[in-house]
Chain A
Amino acid sequence: NAGVTQTPKFQVLKTGQSMTLQCAQDMNHEYMSWYRQDPGMGLRLIHYSVGAGITDQGEVPNGYNVSRSTTEDFPLRLLSAAPSQTSVYFCASSYSGQFTDTQYFGPGTRLTVL
């Protein structure tokens, strides 16, 4: 099993550009989520999904879109990148999203918006 994979590992964008961060898992997990990690702050939840076709907003959803067409994939779209979106983005998955489930994190995507 590859676990949770993310692409790309690094990305530089100009303000106003759009892009999609890819996330995939091969563990047949129902629950997937996206976080951002900024220096001096804890991880913050952007969006999450409890299964294919179901998504919901987390703590900091503005400026980001998600969709979940398959169990395996959960892409994160930046519609019009802003410097405030410079961050490290982590995708995570767990079996069902229940409180006692172990969450597995991907290796992260480091995004810089100029």
Chain B
Amino acid sequence: KNQVEQSPQSLIILEGKNCTLQCNYTVSPFSNLRWYKQDTGRGPVSLTIMTFSENTKSNGRYTATLDADTKQSSLHITASQLSDSASYICVVTLSGGSYIPTFGRGTSLIVHP
């Protein structure tokens, strides 16, 4: 069964610190991997999209990496801010015309002042 596993489940850091969130997947054949940010009580917002041929993508202080060989991705947040407190969700989509993505359960990040 296609799966997306995220770690850690939750993370607490101090404002200004960096952090890295992990995503491992078994989805195959792989098409693309996305990272979303979901604030409490709101819908997810897209941060990055990477195809199998890309190994890094940045969006401001957010940098996503992808290793398609090991089926691993990471999201690195630099110089964290209080507004980074949210759930970060990894999503993987099959290739071959499927419109059904597989969502991870998310990592809950809390940034303390």
Contact = CB atoms under 8 A, between A and B. Distances in A.
Given A41-B105, A42-B4, A107 B99 contact: no
B43 A105 contact: yes
A50 B45 contact: no
Say whether chain B's binding surface is mostly helix, strand, loop, or mixed. Answer: strand
Interface residues of B, number: 23
Interface residues of A, number: 26
B99 A44 contact: no
Contacts of B4: 42
B105 A56 contact: no
Interface of A: 4, 31, 33, 40-45, 48, 50, 56, 58-59, 90, 92, 97, 99-100, 102-108
Interface of B: 4, 31-32, 34, 41-46, 49, 51, 89, 93, 95, 99-106
